[in-house]
Amino acid sequence: MAIRDDVIKMKQVSPYMAVSDEKIRNGALLAVADALKAHQDEIFAENKKDLELAKANDIAPAIAARLKFDEKKLKDVVSGIRQLTKLADPIGRVTLKRELDENLTLTRVSTPIGVIGVIFEARPDAMVQIASLCIKSGNCAILKGGRETANTNRILFRYIEEAVTAAGCPEGCLLLAETHSEIDELLSCDKEVDLLIPRGSNAFVRYIMEHTRIPVMGHADGICHIYVDKAADQDKAIKIILDAKTQYTAACNAVETLLVHRDIADVFLPRLYDALKAEKIKLRGTREAGAILKKYQAEENAFEEIEVDEFKEYLALIVSVAVVEDEDAAIAHINRYGSHHTDAVITEDDAAAERFMQLVDSAGVYRNCSTRFADGFRYGFGAEVGISTGKLHARGPVGLEGLVTYKYRLCGDGQIVGDYATGKAEFHFRDIM
């Protein structure tokens, strides 16, 4: 059967999921935690199949490590689920209560978004976390994980879905999509799916954004900048740059571009060069940066000269560098060439820091710390479904709050607009909370 039929059913189920009691949703989460523990050997066995296939396909060990679902990862996701049950209910929150007139009361109340499609990378723990966030927030979810963990996804989904419906959530509130053709089908379900959250490569997210009329939350590029101000503590700068580039080079919040204030470039760039070289990080950048390094460096050809509009997201041990005239030039560069993800200033000057953080138009603006902090866990959100570089709805790491919307409820006693238009009745607007 085509997944579209299941998605149409899910749309009909979604209002019932949306009104499911908090106790049922938290009970469902605890049941998921118990089920995963009870069936752990079976789950590990399926995961082993995926790992063996990965080995047979010569998948790099760094990537294979992410495919693994072992006792440690199970323990982490189970503890994450239990923490989630303790968080306040994100739905049913009244954010406005206003008497428009006698017996005419307007209430704004938070509600689930409805039907959410999440397409995520091959990481079994991501599947559990995303499903849990959707259940907690009363959303129905279509889950599509990376094919490298197809066996693990299938068994995890089976036990999650069983536990959730046994706990009282409506049948059909979760769906597993397994094939790539199902993604294309999903993209055309714009009447049924309220939100798509794609995670993965730049090209993949762009493909999703360009091939659907469903709202998409996420990010394609992650071109994060670190601007080293003339008032920077240069030791801090080097330490932060190395962390932001090497701690997880393939992450969207890894640094890709360094901007250095001209006043300190002569001193800082050679120091930077040495530090990067020790970590096998290649340096590319503008002619001016190259000229400074040329004066200094011993080796030839260790610096590749490129134009600023060639600066890009490397996701590798390469970093672009430009010398900038002043802070405003750094800000203009970031706003123009950046991806509005996360950008940092290194400075001991409070005014310069404030100016940077005010004027840089990104989801995250940082002072004197690594761009790698841009993450739902590190922000204390418990978990994240993704990171948004869009400005509407949710920005930056997206946790439970990003999975709800609201509706306006208006309760009257026969009121008509005609009476207010003719002056027979008058609004008095009194907030009652």
- Is 417 a residue that touches a copy of itself (CB under 8 A)? yes
List the one residue from 75, 247, 266, 325 that touches a copy of itself (CB under 8 A): 247
- Which residues touch 95 (CB under 8 Å, ≥6 apart)? 108, 109, 110, 406
- Is 114 a residue that touches a copy of itself (CB under 8 A)? yes
Question: Between 5 and 266, whose beta carbon lies closer to a copy of itself?
Answer: 5
Q: Binders of a copy of itself among 384-403, rule CB under 8 A? A: 390-393, 395-397
- Is 278 a residue that touches a copy of itself (CB under 8 A)? no
- CA 179 distance to own-chain centroid: 23
Q: Binders of a copy of itself among 350-369, rule CB under 8 A? A: 353, 357-369
- Please tell me the distance from the alpha carbon of residue 52 to that of residue 47, in angstroms, as a whole number: 9
Q: Binders of a copy of itself among 13-52, rule CB under 8 A? A: 14-16, 18-19
Q: Binders of a copy of itself among 280-339, rule CB under 8 A? A: 331-332, 335
Maximal CA-CA distance, the chain: 87
List the one residue from 160, 167, 173, 240 that touches a copy of itself (CB under 8 A): 240
- Is 203 a residue that touches a copy of itself (CB under 8 A)? no
- Please tell me the distance from the alpha carbon of residue 62 to that of residue 315, in angstroms, as a whole number: 14
Question: Between 52 and 354, whose beta carbon lies closer to a copy of itself?
Answer: 354
SS3 assignment, position 94: strand
Q: How far is the CB of 219 from a copy of itself (least distance, A)?
A: 14
Question: Between 40 and 405, whose beta carbon lies closer to a copy of itself?
Answer: 405
What does the angle CA 110 – CA 374 – CA 210 come to, to the nearest 5 degrees? 70
Q: Is 385 exposed, middle or buried (0-12, 13-18, 19+ CB in 10 A)?
A: buried
- Is 59 a residue that touches a copy of itself (CB under 8 A)? no
Cβ count near 324 (within 10 Å)? 23
SS3 assignment, position 19: coil
- Is 100 a residue that touches a copy of itself (CB under 8 A)? yes
List the one residue from 211, 213, 287, 294 that touches a copy of itself (CB under 8 A): 213
- Is 420 a residue that touches a copy of itself (CB under 8 A)? yes
Q: How far is the CB of 322 from a copy of itself (least distance, A)?
A: 18
11: nearest Cα among 134, 180, 189, 181: 189
36: nearest Cα among 185, 204, 217, 162: 162
Q: Binders of a copy of itself among 170-199, rule CB under 8 A? A: 194-195
Question: Between 205 and 242, whose beta carbon lies closer to a copy of itself?
Answer: 242
Q: How far is the CB of 327 from a copy of itself (least distance, A)?
A: 13
- Please tell me the distance from the alpha carbon of residue 265 to that of residue 271, in angstroms, as a whole number: 10
SS3 assignment, position 232: coil
Q: How far is the CB of 233 from a copy of itself (least distance, A)?
A: 7
